[in-house]
Amino acid sequence: MRLGVLDVGSNTVHLLVVDAHPGARPLPASSHKAELRLAEQLDEDGRISPAAEKSLLAFVESSLTVGEDLGVEEVIGFATSAIRDAPNGEALLTRVRQETGVDLRVLAGGDEARLTFLAVRRWFGWSAGRLLVLDIGGGSLEIASGLDELPDVAISLPLGAGRLTRDRLAGDPPGADQVRAARKYARAAIGRVVRDVVRGGAPDQTVGSSKTFRTLARICGPADAQTPARTLRRADLTQWVPRLAAMTEIQRAELPGVSAGRARQILAGALVAEAAMELLGVESMQISPWALREGVILRRLDDVMSAAGPGI
């Protein structure tokens, strides 16, 4: 079947069209996305702004047109922390449903962590052993660990790159006191859950998913690399954090793999990534091309197989 997965994230709103069949690897067919940065488009009360609401509605409507043109049979829509945490999030979802017919499911933080873990497990396979999976979005950091397809631990923390930038890293570049305070805040939040994460045992492999980790791996990799980096080393990241802190947004956008839309947030992402890696004892991690969207697709295919009943 041809599925359209509509991901209303805190940074990017993305329609991914895939050819997906039970027992087969989902194959991307087309991508339609926009950087709305909903986690930053808030008023003083934390409500998503009218301008951001209008942009989201326009994108959902355009996604339906794109999906129809591409022969999409089913649209699976979900929203993450920007909608989940906004006081007017439910009202916005109701408006989207009434005006477009698309029913966006709000994922709880733990569900985000579990679905991302599922995608990473399927990508790396059972031979990877115990996995520790980290994912930095615009609004939250997800941490999951386990031996099976369902993690033993699934945690979500309000440490997204967009959120941390909006709340604690004003200025271009931000002042040294702001960077120090943001670093302290991130480490305190992660420190409170370290015991829960490590109690199941040391991971055989640590994996980073999400655009933030892919971008950091590219920044910290060889300067002449022509292919996406597959590994992020903590030692390299630690060297880069003060360099990113000293750069303006324009200077960061000139780095390899850093889009103009991500340039403002990448320092916050680096601070959270470094904190998580250090506090969890991670020296290096692999970068997964699959993350939350793929987890949603895989879970939908699992549901199809369950509904079909036992095979031969």
pTM: 0.93
**Which tens digit of pLDDT belongs to each residue from 141-178?**
999 999 999 999 999 999 999 999 999 999 999 999 99
Output the pLDDT for position 22: 82
DSSP-assigned states of every residue in 111-164:
HHHHHHHHHHHHHH-GGG-SEEEEEE-SS-EEEEEESSSS-SEEEEES--HHHH
**And the tokens for 292?**
């939350």
Output the pLDDT for position 312: 44
Helix (H, G, I), strand (E, B) or coil at 74: strand
Output the pLDDT for position 46: 87
Question: Which parts of the chain sit beneath pLDDT 70?
Answer: 223-227, 305, 308-312
